[in-house]
Structure 1
Amino acid sequence: MEDTAVLRKIERLAAGGQPRVLDLFAGAGGISLGFQRAGFQIAGAVEVDPTAALTHALNFHADHPDVLETHARARDITRVEPDQLASELGLGPVEDAVDVLVGGPPCQAYARVGRAKLREVAAHPEAFKVDPRGNLFLRYLAYVEAFRPLALLMENVPDILHYGGHNVVEEMVEALDGLGYSAGYSLLNSAFYGVPQMRDRVFLIGYRRELGAKVTFPKATNHMVLPPGYAGTRAVALRHVDLFNGSGYISPDLGDESLPGPVSAQDAIGDLPPILGTSVKRGARKFTELVKYRTGIRASEYQKLMRQWPGFESCGGVKDHVIRYLPRDHLVFAEMRQGAEYPEAHATAVRIVERKARESRIRPGTAAYDKLYASIVPPYDVSKFPNKWWKLRPDWPVRTLMAHIGKDTYSHIHWDSTQARTISVREAARLQSFPDGFVFQGAMNAAFRQIGNAVPPLMAGAIAEVMHKVLRESTMASVQPNGTTPRRPDVPRKAQAPRSKRRSQ
């Protein structure tokens, strides 16, 4: 039986229609921004955090004030049904509403996912309701079943490839096969795609089989040799991936030394004005003061892109170049070596205490010495928090920005010792490839959290460009000269048992 909704979407895109995207678990909108840049229309989003939902709405729907409030509403995907969402957003019948579904389901309960459960929800989209675990991967599949997108993208952390001794993404590929999709996945590092950050993430792409499309991933635009820690992490992540026998895994094309090197931290944020860590006072930070770019330096190509991103152009500077108040740590920040981690930072702090004690003739074991020690040396256990602190190298991409920067930013200490501080909100946004005209809502901590949670827009955009090309070419090829869309005899298929050649995880 033909899926008439799918055929209508194919015909619409073949006639030149702009592909429409629904972003699930959208956050501030990193994926949305990348897809918009590649030529997609952002039809709507689902985000449970009110501040992030407001950020998304104001950046993607501010031109339509009559629907802004609707788009800014926080929604819990486990409580809103697909048809209800389509109605609230004014998208029409759910099966006709969008062409592409994207999103990164949060990673709860990986070990509890299994082929049986995924097949169950593929056959019965509301089956997740009887599962008290409320697994969000199951909810993602329910939305796929209801919206029938021509294409989909899912993003997640590398642990999803081996959590609990099995490969969750491989199981998603099988479940999507039962829903009528050809899918594949890859482990990509954003530094290879023009992002000034070494960030490993798993991306899954799926296309309706009516399109006859092959899943491919973008070729690298930049090349680097990842540090040993990243190489080791990738090896662990891939240990449950069958690279040779029927796996849905697709090895990325990482290029070679002939490609340009990675975008460095200096390339990314070197044009933003200095801030002295000692100049910051206690209190809330507001994004109201425009700070102009540094003068007398030549902007890098990356910095020009961040200033001139179409639709998100800056106004000669930024308004969220603000940092945290960290009065204890500026001495350590100043004396740390670039590239140093927490054990070295702790040792540096102890040396500073010993030096100051000698200068002031304060003896160890006294109350005065203990007070001096507590005022300079951080209290974290060196053996338990080796990666808690890290001082940027200006000539390298930075390490992964995490949601934890909403609580502290010790993982990204500015390389300039004269400033002696952690990175600002706008510097974090730049390092995540958000353009300067993209505005984050909420207080400083909320903005940091939104940035750390996001998919880098340039990374999403690289994938979106590939998907846009595939959709354009495959929809055109699917439409016959008389304007009709032929039915492919092998689609869509219903949920089925795992393919016998696939090994159990």
Structure 2
Amino acid sequence: MFSGTGGLSEGFLRSGFEPVAHIEIDGNACKTLETRSAYYYLKRNNNMDIYRKYQTSYNKKENEKEKARKILLSSIPQGIIEPILNIEISEKTLPKIFEQIDNRINILGRREIDLIIGGPPCQAYSLVGRARDENNMEDDPRNYLYKLYVRFLTKYKPKAFVFENVPGILTAFDGNIFRNIQAYMKRVGYNIEAHKIDARDFGVLQSRKRIIIIGWRKDLEFCYPAIEPCNFNYTVNDILTDLPKLNAGETYTKFTYRKKPNHYLLSTKLRETGDVLTHHIARPHIQRDLDIYKIAVNKLNSEMTRIKYTDLPEELRTHNNLESFLDRYKVVAGNQKYAHTMVAHISRDGHHYIHPDITQNRSITVREAARIQSFPDDYYFEGSRTSNFVQIGNAVPPLMSEKIAQWFKARLNILE
């Protein structure tokens, strides 16, 4: 549910779970899910040449890309992959959604659902979102999407579920939202437990704190996943330096890499033999921003401190507000063990995600953002660059979800 571009799903797919359906309101994210489903089918059937050929359509004109996409999807037999429902989850749409899921369950010949995973859109629960809204997001209908999530638990009675969201969900409306979520889930037959976790403890080279609520049916012996934190000795540069160098506004069209993959890329499967490099296009920037980027990168690399807006020369300042949002320009810390949190705001301008290599002097590309989120290079994002950044910024890091999925797989095997 609320599957987005599939970051949470990816970890479970890698771990051998079989998808029944994905439900997502964003059209481009649904296209990305369709492409990923095609990837898994072709990989299972040792027919990756079709997928690689589709990847090389990335830099072509829209009509050529669409033609290549039709060829890709036509290579998948009808009914083989799960339905990807591009639909809003609401009281009105529930009957239609349930009907399609029921049909899929019958096709698979399954008697029950093992897991439901996903989390409602987090803007209504985030501290930043509430701060920016004059009504503190109190009128936002997304506050109550958890009630619809519970409807799925009631109908399908999965053994367990995974509900992901931002830490702000614990404090939204003085904690009343979270107390209601707990009460609803317990009322329909589930024990639940919530923990704050950080993606960097799961091998992701990014600090990304999230609340993961785990629920399990009261008739089952279960507990919260016990996962040992990873202790990798890598830096963020390890996921950037094999990629071809670009200046602001440049497009890389050769689909090949600058260097061989290092151990981190190979061990995490961010890059594999035969990969085709896509989504590596640097957005253009005006000269003033480029001048600011150089100052910000120099300061971080030489002094290990981040620049404040008030540190800039007056001729480079364009905002009158010198009291708040002073971290408008932020460099990805290449020489640190993890980057700062990737969010969908990167789709706006890139100022918060400046590349650490001063010789390139630009914000990061879609592929670099995807790697920071731990998406593998064979993950193809559909839609515009802006949409790609939104999809990636809103996603759950696949490496983190894979660790959770592996724990669930072992636990469910014991139960069987």
Same fold? TM cut 0.5? yes
**Alpha-carbon contact 1:342-1:385 (below 8 Å) kept:** no
Distance 1:70 1:95 in 2: 14
1:90/1:289 CA distance change after superposition, 3 Å? farther
In structure 2, the partner of 1:76 is 88
Larger radius of gyration: 1
Q: Find 2:228's aligned residue among 205, 215, 219.
A: 219
After TM superposition, give the deviation of residue 451 of structure 1 in Å: 0.2
| Structure 2 match to 1:51 | 28
Task: Write the mapping of 1:173-188 to structure 2, written as runs, cut at 5 A.
Answer: 173-188=182-197
Is residue 189 of structure 1 aligned with residue 201 of structure 2?
A: no
Secondary structure (helix, strand or coil) at the match of 1:291 reads coil
Superposed displacement of residue 211, structure 1: 2.1
- Separation in structure 1 between the aligned mates of residue 15 and residue 84 of structure 2, nearest angstrom: 23
Name the structure 1 match of 2:263. 301
Shift of 1:89: 4.3
Q: For 1:272-311, what aligned pairs fall within 5 Å after superposition? A: 272-277=243-248, 280=249, 289-295=253-259, 299-305=261-267
Please tell me whether the aligned partners of residues 334 and 420 of structure 1 are also in contact (alpha carbons under 8 angstroms).
yes
Corresponding position of 2:241: 270
Q: Distance in 2 between the 1:390 and 1:53 partners?
A: 31
Alignment of 1:50-449 (within 5 A): 50-61=27-38, 63=41, 64-67=76-79, 71-78=83-90, 79-81=92-94, 82-87=97-102, 89=104, 91=106, 96=111, 98-107=113-122, 135-166=144-175, 168-222=177-231, 260-261=232-233, 263-277=234-248, 280=249, 289-295=253-259, 299-305=261-267, 313=272, 315-328=274-287, 329-336=289-296, 337-338=299-300, 340-341=305-306, 343-344=308-309, 347-350=311-314, 373=315, 376-379=316-319, 381-396=321-336, 397-449=338-390
User: TM-score by structure 2 length?
Assistant: 0.78
Q: TM-score, normalised by structure 1?
A: 0.65
Q: CA deviation at 1:218?
A: 1.5
How far apart are residue 102 of structure 1 and its match? Answer: 0.3
Is 1:41 the equivalent of 2:12? no
Q: Which residue of 2 aligns with 1:457?
A: 398
Q: Does the C-alpha gap of structure 1 residues 403 and 73 become closer, same or farther in structure 2, counting only changes over 3 Å?
A: same
In structure 2, the CA distance between the partners of 1:381 and 1:341, relative to structure 1 (3 Å rule), is farther
Cα 1:456–1:108, aligned 2, differ >3 Å: closer, same or farther? closer
Q: 1:35 to 1:132 in 2, by over 3 A?
A: closer
Secondary structure of the structure 2 residue equivalent to 1:320: coil
- Can you give the 5+ residue segments of structure 1 that lack an aligned partner in the other structure? 1-23, 112-130, 223-259, 351-372, 476-505
Query: Partners in 1 of 2:224 and 2:177 — Cα distance?
Result: 18
- Contact persistence 2:22–2:84 (CA under 8 A): no
CA distance in 2, matches of 1:80, 1:342: 48
Identity, in percent, stands at: 28
1:330 positional shift = 1.2
Structure 2, gaps ≥5 residues long:
42-75, 127-139
- The two structures, once aligned, show a CA RMSD in angstroms of 2.9
Cα deviation, residue 400, structure 1: 0.5
Mean Cα deviation higher: 173-182 or 185-194: 173-182
Cα offset for 1:307?
Answer: 5.2
